[in-house]
Structures are given as structure tokens and as C-alpha cells.
Amino acid sequence: MSRPATARAWFAAAGCAAVIAVSLVGCTPADSGSPSTPSASATIPPEALPTAAVQTEAQACAALEVGMGSLQTQLADGINNLSSDPAGASVSIHKVVDQYAANARTVTNDTVGPLAQTAVTALGDLATEVDKYAAQSPDSTALTLSTSAVGVQTAFTALQDVCG
């Protein structure tokens, strides 16, 4: 079953937008204050994943698509504002992590579920790096941001391969 073009575009855009973040960020963040309080851990504990329902890959992929349009906009806004407003970028990216984690919690398919969890973890790692950048942490470097962005791109590429 072919996924709608918008879903394919979102999976690709989510990964690419994260990688673009690094090219838009200088080595020294602007002083814009500390980031907002980070969201709860993006990693979904295994016991919180639903296990009762049998779900097809198509149903699982559809579950991940809920709110995709707004997630894509929030991710793009966060990435675009990383240099000028790192604290605002942090808020935007945490919204993406929270929504995507909520979507992933509805996935019970054995193929899509682990890929969705990997994407949630990768987004959470990126959010952590953005938080460090916004706080002007000495641990935040272009390399750490880049590594996190590549993790997001890799995770969403794997999802796109299945959900295509």
C-alpha cells in the first residue's frame, strides 16, 4: 500500500531538517538566555509500549502520521531559528519530540514499533544537543549537533523504507 506523498515527504524532511541544523549553526551560540525546561525523556520504556493489538505496517505507519503537518512546521521553525533563537528552537524541537513520542506509543506493529522507538530516541538526542547549544554548554559543538542530526536522518530513512 502506497503512503500519501505528504507522509513520504515528512519522513524525508524530518531527517534532512535535522542535518540542515548543523549547517545553519555557528560554533558560538547567540546569548538568548537558557532554554525552557526540557520535556520528559523522549525514550519510551518498553513496558509503556502497547502490546495487545495486532497492527499492520500500514496502520502503524498511519499512526505515526498523525499531526505530521504541524510537526514538520515545528521542526523546520526550530531548525531555522537555532542560530538566532536557540531557546525558542529548543521549545519547538521538544514539541516535536513530545508529539512524535505520543504517536509512537500507539504503534504495536513488530516491524514499525522498533523503528519508531529509534526515531523517538534520535529526536530526543537532538533535543538534548539543542538544549546544550541554547545553554551555551561547552559540551555543545558542531560535531555533537551534527551527530545527533545524522541520527535523526538515519532513523527517519529507516522508517521511510518501511512506510514509504
> Can you give the CATH number for the domain in which 66 is found?
1.20.120
Sequence-ordered list of residues with C-beta below 8 angstroms from that of 24, at least 6 positions apart, any chain: 79, 80, 82, 83
Determine, yes or no, domain membership for 115.
yes
Q: Look at 71 and 76; give whichever has higher pLDDT.
A: 76
Which domain range does residue 60 map to?
54-164
Assigned domain for 22 exists: no
Kindly state whether residue 161 falls inside one of the protein's structural domains: yes
Residue 7 forms part of a structural domain: no
Residue 129 belongs to a domain: yes
Cell numbers standing for residue 101: 513520542
| Residue 42 domain-assigned (yes or no) | no
Best CA proximity match to 61, nearest among 15, 10, 96: 10
Residue 24 belongs to a domain:
no
3-state DSSP percent of the chain in helix, strand and coil, to 5? 65, 0, 35
**Residue 3 confidence class, pLDDT cut points 50, 70, 90:** very low
Average pLDDT of the residues in 24-52: 41
Distance CA 140, CA 142 (A): 7
Cα 60 to Cα 152: distance, rounded to the nearest angstrom: 19
Does the model's pTM come out above 0.95? no
pLDDT at position 6 over 60? no
Q: What is the pLDDT of residue 137?
A: 82
* Number of domains comprising the chain: 1
